[in-house]
Each structure stands twice: as C-alpha cells, then as structure tokens.
Chain A
Amino acid sequence: MQAEALRRLVFSGLLLGGLLFSTWAVLAQVNWRGVLHVEEGLVVAEAQLGSIFLNAMRHSEKLVEEAAVLKPLNRLVDRLCAENRIPRQEIHLYVLKNPEVNAFAFPGGNLVIHTGLLERVETPEELCGVLAHEIAHIELRHVRKKLSKELGLVSLVSMTTGGAGSELVKETLKVLSSSAFDRRLEMQADQTAIRYLQQAEIDPKPFADCLQRLSDSNQDGEVVLKWFSSHPDSRSRAKAVQHTIGSKVVSFRSPMSRQEWSELKKRLKFKRSS
C-alpha cells in the first residue's frame, strides 16, 4: 500500500514538474525583449537620462562653445563615425573648461572632453584615440550597463520619471566622470577603439604611446590625470593596445593638418588664460 502510494506520488510529482518545466521552456523560446520593445524603451530612457545629465552639467560646469575649438573636434568625430558606419547623430560632443585631464561618456550618446585633456595630448592621433575609446563605450552600451550596476534600475527609473532629486543626478554624473568601467569593458573599448581608428585610417600607435606616457606621469604623482588614474592599469592597457596593433603596416591619413592642430592648441591656451 505504502509503495503504491509512493509510486503514485512520484509519478504525479514528475508529471506536474515536467508540465511546469516544459511550459517555462516553451515560453522562454519567445523573444520577450523584442515583443515588449525593451530595447526601444531603454533607448528612450537613455536619451531622457542624457538630457537630465546635460542640464545638470550646463548648470554646474562651464561649456566651451567656441566654434574654433568645437569644429575641428567635431570633424574628428565625423570621420570616426563615417568610416565606422556609426550614425553621427548618435554622438554629441561637448567640451568642458576644466584643467583635469579627463574625458567621459554619459547616457544619450554624449561625450565630454575636458580642456585639460585637449591641452595634454600631443598629436591629433592621440586625441582621436581618446575619442574613439569613448565612442566605443557609447556604441557598446557600457554607459547603460555601468549606470544600472552602480545605481540599480529603480534609481534610473526614478531619474527618468523626475522622481530623483538634483543631488542624485549630480552624484551620478560624478560617478560617470570619475570612475572607469570594469577591466573587461575597458579592454573591450580599447580593442574597439583601435578598430575604429584603423578603419578611419588613423594611426592607433600614438594612442598606445599616449597611454604609456601619461600612465608613467601618473606614477609620479600627478593627480590631475583623471582619465588615466581612473582607468585601471593603464600600463597593461598600453601593452594590450600595442599587441593588438601588432606590426601591421597600413597606410594612414593624418586626421588633422599641422596648422589646424596648432590653431586648436593656441585657442586652448588662450581659453586657459582667459
């Protein structure tokens, strides 16, 4: 009797368990993210967040709006996007008057570069490397991943619905501008940046040299090199970038003429003193 009861129990248990599991397995075959338009929703939310952060930045920082500075930089971004089939309207470049050597991306395809970094880089190729790296973070959706990891979906939703205070927005902007992504995402962005540069026929080697040079300076205790100090292990990144570039001999075209570059540098020096 007991054995019979146990047998019936096991059989009905397996039947019920099998039914539940197979129902779940069948339902899981559906692309629910597509059905529920999750990607579209995330894009809209990201654009909203971008606007919120941009407004906060405009209030708290000084934006450089001079055409003599923005035009040549935007031409560099134009070239990187055009050669890599990145829709140009997805990337918005802003320059902040700030002596910190820093550049960062925030939601909505926004890319910020400090005048400190523009003054520090020595060649247009180095600058293109930094721009390509940040564009890679945007295109690979690292910014969204970082935000959801640092803040969680609830805080992000409250920001997009206007439920978050200005303090949360400021703090979030600080997080985005001052801390790097995790090592795996940084390496991914570096690899992608090299691809972007090579595709645009821009020599990626100066970018690797720049990483090496400025991480060496950083070792000497310069604290203003935020872009390099916040990115983990710049020296090994430089080595990885150099390894990826390899010894391929490819023809490159300079992204900016010497005259344009020295004009840009002059404008930045002028801006610093004004």
Chain B
Amino acid sequence: MMPNVDALRTPHEHEAERASNSYLMSLVALLSGVVLPVVNLIATLIFFLGNRRATYFVRWHCTQALVSQVAIFLLNAPLFWWTISILFLNASFSSEYVAYLLLILMLNFVEMVSTIWAAIQTRKGAHVEWLFFGELTHLLCRPKP
C-alpha cells in the first residue's frame, strides 16, 4: 500500500468537484466537435497549471488526467502524420496503417469511457487509479509537507 494513498481517500465536496473537472477537460474537444487530440491535451494542461496550489486530491487527479492525455497524444500523433503522408505524399495504404488506425480508435474509445467513469467516481469522492498512470502519478505528485 502506497503511504500517500490515505491522503486521497477522504476529499471534501469542493475537492471532488475540482478533481472531477480535470477529467472533464479532456472531453472538451469531443464535446465542442473538434477532432484534434492536441486540444484535449492543452485543455488538461491549462487545468493542471491552474490547480498547482490546490489540495493533494485535486492535484493528484489533475496529474493523472494530464499524464494520460500526454500518452494519448503521443500515440495519436504518429497516426495523424501517417495519414497525412498517405493522403498527400506517396505512402502506401497498408494493413499496418489500418491496424494502427483501429488500435488508436479503440484506445481513444477506452480512454473516453475511462475518463467519463473517472469523472463520475471522483465527483462522488472516490479515488480512481489507472494502470500505469496511477503509479506514474504517485511518483510525480507528492502531498505537501
């Protein structure tokens, strides 16, 4: 058991609301109809920067939202450029491309569902940790002394 998890277990109402909003930021682009994933990342980053002095619970969830968005962005970006090279340059429309496209679509769908679920759970005051991103967030985000 990670010692700082105890500090995440009993958030106040306003903390739960702010933490939940950090996940909702990554859905901003979807809701506004914009397809570029970089908008999600920018929105989450702005929210993260705006909550640097918030409580540990809020900071922790802002960090988890941010690192997961960075990962999604890093996985989406090659697909974007691969698509550009097929459309405008001479790259081949290969099975590997379609496989990567399907993988990214599935990943984005899973990410969207996970984000909505995390937003709901966090709003209720529950602590949600994602595989890998939870561990990374524990390393990056410490409770204030």
Contact = CB atoms under 8 A, between A and B. Distances in A.
Interface of A: 1, 5-6, 8-9, 12-13, 15-16, 20, 23-25, 27-33, 36, 38, 145, 148-149, 152-154
Given A5-B135, A16-B132, A149 B90 contact: yes
A32 B87 contact: no
A29 B98 CA distance: 11
Nearest to A156: B87
Contacts of B136: 9
Nearest to A42: B93
The binding surface of chain A is classed by DSSP as: helix
Contacts of A12: 131-132, 135
Nearest to B107: A20
B81 interface: no
B8 to A, nearest CB: 15
B103 A33 contact: no
A33 B135 contact: no
Nearest to B95: A32
11 contacts: A5-B2, A8-B135, A15-B132, A16-B131, A16-B132, A24-B100, A27-B102, A30-B98, A33-B98, A38-B93, A152-B87
B98 A32 contact: yes
**Is chain B's interface secondary structure helix, strand, loop, or mixed overall?**
helix
A13 B85 CA distance: 30
Given A20-B107, A30-B99, 4 more contacts: A1-B3, A24-B99, A27-B103, A152-B89
B31 interface: no
A153 B88 contact: yes
A130 B88 CA distance: 32
Nearest to A17: B132
A8 B75 CA distance: 22
Nearest to B2: A5
B42 to A, nearest CB: 24
Contact of B96 (A28, A36, A38, A145): A28
Interface residues of B, number: 25
A24 B103 contact: yes
B90 A145 contact: yes
B103 A20 contact: yes
A146 B76 CA distance: 29
Contacts of A149: 89-90
B121 to A, nearest CB: 20
Contacts of A16: 131-132
Interface string B60-89: 000000000000000100000000001111
Contact of A28 (B88, B99, B107, B135): B99
B32 interface: no
Contacts of A30: 95, 98-99
Nearest to A25: B99
Choose among B90, B106, B132 the residue with the greatest number of A CB atoms under 10 Å from its CB. B132
A9 B103 contact: no
B63 to A, nearest CB: 14
Contacts of B75: 20
Given A9-B132, A16-B131, A28 B87 contact: no
